[in-house]
């Protein structure tokens, strides 16, 4: 017999069904709450206890530090898969065969040209713009250039919209940086694979005849992109699903997701971490001083790269990234004093009752900036790199939401404003 949860309100007992996920997680289905209680609602700011959907894409167990895409462990994927394989897995549900992967890549390449008129929009941005703002705007502008990709219903229409954005997004990501760096735009080279092509568009200098791919750089970038590719119902992904639920279209939904990711509490943390570590270094490297500030409730300073809404033991991505940071710096022969500051802060936090009691551990962004910098990725590009990695996850979640025909997202509220009052003429206020 299926499990029930009983809720008592004003002397009346109401039974709710309890749903069980494939990993035996339980969720109380409160769909009938308002009908059974004549309009009583629940309240849960930040959705700390609220599931917004049923999803078959990513499984995350924050207590045990488990993260799996479509059943595959993140560690195995980061070690053995390439980025497009993972993108295909997330979006379509299974790892691709060789032929499926080749067709996916061919379709993506076919659409990798960005309309030349998009450059005029890019030209309108000042050099002081942040690449995340540019990327969000250009992604939204794609709608105007691809109107048939907006209100898509059929599998074929969805597929076309997906391969188009997979093709154009690396170009837009690279261009958002080229603009602020004052560098000419590069259209890439379709002979290169997805990652080399992106790195060429981002990093090739105008006085360099050929972009030379560095295998250490490439493999570290692939690992980082895979680790960021999905993370179930996080802030930006929930934004993508919410915007998409109004049938606004994939590109509008992703543009909104980019804006959500930009914030320093979410994807913007990778830039904030390196800026924090740099400022600690400039200030003499006294980590204890910053630990004390992070614990002081009257000081807005937070230890960036620490804490997570769902990981209360460790972030499995952070473990892989920390190892990768050591490897990359070792392989490239780079000694980064900021890495020592990061390790010092981590050691102190892991032994500090404030952090231990609150279960605050380094998250994925604590070490990623250090690797990106060692790989030659400019600091303002750290968060756009996160966006490039997260793109397949956003697409997969949007597609799932549309295929499951989820209703428009529209939360309730508890009104705490003024009650009914009469209009007062301006002279009498
Ligand atoms: N430094 C100092 N104190 C912290 C920190 C931190 N980084 N994070 C949380 N706390 C404290 C917080 O003050 C609160 O203390 P108290 O219970 O005494 O009021 C307690 O820990 C719980 O924090 P919270 O803000 O209620 O937790 P949350 O789940 O709402 O927020 C978070 C999660 C990630 C936004 C937060 O930990 C944070 O701001 N971290 C720093 C930013 C960061 O690194 N973000 C990247 C997250 S990983 C990338 C991604 O997937 O987005």
Q: Is 231 a catalytic residue?
A: no
pLDDT tens track for 254-275 = 999 999 999 999 999 999 999 9
* Rounded distance from Cα 265 to ligand 1 centre (Å): 8
Do 107 and 131 belong to one domain?
A: yes
Alpha-carbon gap, residue 315 to 362, rounded angstroms: 7
Do 33 and 182 belong to one domain?
A: no
Q: Is 266 a catalytic residue?
A: no
pLDDT for 151: 78
Q: Is residue 68 part of a domain?
A: no
pLDDT tens track for 125-171 = 999 999 999 999 999 999 999 888 777 889 999 999 999 999 999 99
Q: Is residue 216 part of a domain?
A: yes
Q: Which atom of ligand 1 is nearest to the CA of 273?
A: 44
Do 228 and 178 belong to one domain?
A: yes
* Rounded distance from Cα 302 to ligand 1 centre (Å): 8
| Domain final position from 15, 34, 61 | 61
- Note down the domain range covering 123: 74-405
Do 316 and 293 belong to one domain?
A: yes
Q: Is residue 69 part of a domain?
A: no
Q: Is residue 134 part of a domain?
A: yes
Do 54 and 80 belong to one domain?
A: no
Q: Is residue 150 part of a domain?
A: yes
Q: Which of 44, 308, 352, 427 is catalytic?
A: 308
Strand partners, 12: 9
Beta 72-73 vs 4-9: how paired, if at all?
unpaired
pLDDT tens track for 16-29 = 999 999 999 999 99
- pLDDT (mean) for 181-203: 93
Which residue's alpha carbon is nearest to atom 44 within ligand 1? Answer: 305
Which residue's alpha carbon is nearest to atom 34 within ligand 1? Answer: 308
* Rounded distance from Cα 278 to ligand 1 centre (Å): 21
User: Domain total for the chain?
Assistant: 2
- Asked whether the predicted pLDDT for residue 74 surpasses 70, the reply is yes
Q: Is residue 413 part of a domain?
A: no
Highest averaged pLDDT of the listed ranges 261-275, 312-326, 355-369 = 261-275
Segment among 80-89, 263-272, 303-312, 324-333 with least mean pLDDT? 324-333
Do 118 and 144 belong to one domain?
A: yes
* Rounded distance from Cα 363 to ligand 1 centre (Å): 10
Which residue's alpha carbon is nearest to atom 49 within ligand 1? Answer: 266
Q: Is residue 67 part of a domain?
A: no
Q: Where are the alpha helices (DSSP H) in 182-312?
A: 194-203, 215-228, 235-244, 250-262, 269-282, 287-295
- Across the chain, mean pLDDT equals 94
Q: Which atom of ligand 1 is nearest to the CA of 235?
A: 52
Q: Rounded to the nearest 5°, which phi and psi values hold at 423?
A: -65, 135
Q: Is residue 421 part of a domain?
A: no
Do 167 and 53 belong to one domain?
A: no
What does the block give as tokens for 287? 């980590």
- Asked whether the predicted pLDDT for residue 252 surpasses 90, the reply is yes
- pLDDT (mean) for 310-321: 90
Do 159 and 252 belong to one domain?
A: yes
Do 112 and 220 belong to one domain?
A: yes
pLDDT for 327: 86
CATH number at residue 49: 2.20.28
CATH number at residue 386: 1.10.580.10
pLDDT band at 1 (very low <50, low <70, confident <90, very high): low
Q: Which atom of ligand 1 is nearest to the CA of 261?
A: 52
């Amino acid at each position: 017999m299926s499990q029930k949860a009983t809720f008592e309100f004003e002397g009346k007992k109401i039974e709710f069904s309890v749903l069980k996920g494939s990993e035996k997680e339980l969720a109380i289905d409160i769909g009938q709450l308002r009908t059974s209680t004549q309009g009583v609602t629940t309240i849960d700011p930040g959705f700390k206890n609220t599931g917004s959907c049923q999803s078959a894409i990513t499984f995350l167990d924050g207590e045990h530090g488990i993260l799996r895409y479509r059943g595959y462990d993140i560690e195995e994927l980061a070690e053995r898969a390439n980025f497009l394989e993972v993108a295909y897995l997330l979006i379509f549900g299974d790892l691709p065969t060789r032929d499926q992967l080749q067709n996916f890549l061919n379709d993506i390449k076919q659409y990798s040209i960005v309309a030349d008129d998009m450059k005029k929009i890019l030209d309108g941005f000042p050099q002081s713009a942040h690449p995340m703002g540019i990327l969000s705007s250009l992604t939204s502008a794609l709608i105007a250039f691809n109107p048939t990709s907006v209100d898509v219903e059929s599998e074929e229409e969805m597929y076309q919209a997906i391969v188009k954005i997979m093709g154009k997004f690396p170009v837009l990501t690279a261009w958002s940086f080229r603009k602020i760096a004052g560098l000419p735009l590069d259209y890439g080279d379709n002979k290169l694979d997805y990652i080399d092509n992106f790195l060429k568009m981002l990093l090739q200098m105008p006085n360099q005849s050929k972009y030379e791919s560095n295998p250490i750089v490439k493999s570290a970038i692939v690992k980082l992109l895979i680790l960021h590719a999905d993370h179930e119902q996080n802030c930006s992904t929930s934004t993508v699903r919410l915007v998409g639920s109004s049938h606004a279209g994939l590109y509008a939904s992703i543009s909104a997701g980019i804006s959500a990711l930009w914030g320093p509490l979410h994807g913007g943390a990778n830039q904030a971490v390196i800026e924090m570590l740099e400022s600690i270094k400039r200030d003499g490297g006294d980590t204890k001083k910053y630990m004390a500030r992070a614990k002081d409730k009257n000081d807005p300073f937070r230890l960036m790269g620490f804490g997570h809404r769902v990981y209360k033991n460790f972030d499995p991505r952070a473990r892989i990234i920390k190892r990768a940071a050591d490897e990359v710096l070792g392989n490239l022969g780079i000694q980064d004093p900021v890495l020592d500051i990061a390790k010092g802060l981590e050691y102190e936090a892991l032994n500090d009752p404030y952090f231990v009691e609150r279960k605050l551990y380094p998250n994925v962004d604590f070490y990623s900036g250090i690797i990106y910098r060692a790989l030659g990725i400019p600091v303002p590009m750290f968060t756009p790199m996160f966006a490039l990695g997260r793109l397949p996850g956003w697409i997969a979640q949007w597609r799932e939401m549309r295929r499951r025909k989820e209703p428009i997202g529209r939360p309730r509220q508890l009104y705490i404003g003024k009650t009914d009052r009469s209009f007062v003429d301006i002279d009498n206020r």
